[in-house]
Amino acid sequence: FRGKLKGETFLSMPLGIEKLFQFDNLTSSQLDPELKSSIEDTIANWNIQIRNVLANNGNDFKSENKLVPSA
């Protein structure tokens, strides 16, 4: 909701994502099932958000304006 209030698209990070940075070569079999599910759900939500932005603002990408992400 934070992004919608400002009129921006906000792609949230999965809960527990910081656990991934504790390992050098983590395989999917070593990944906590809850974290894996959280990552999958988050990516599915990103997909929906991006599709909605493109459907609602697709013309913005066709214009001469150069849209770039901001941190």
What confidence score (pLDDT) does residue 60 get? 59
pLDDT per position as a tens digit, 11-41: 888 888 888 787 777 777 778 888 889 989 9
Which has more pLDDT, 5 or 46? 46
Q: Is 7 left (phi over 0), alpha (psi -120 to 50) or beta?
A: left
pLDDT per position as a tens digit, 61-70: 566 566 666 6
Residue 47: pLDDT band with limits 50, 70, 90: very high
8-11 contacts at long range (C-beta below 8 A, 24 or more positions apart) = 9/49, 9/50, 9/53, 11/46, 11/49
From residue 71, alpha-carbon distances to 10, 38, 52, 53, 60 in Å are: 10, 23, 21, 18, 20
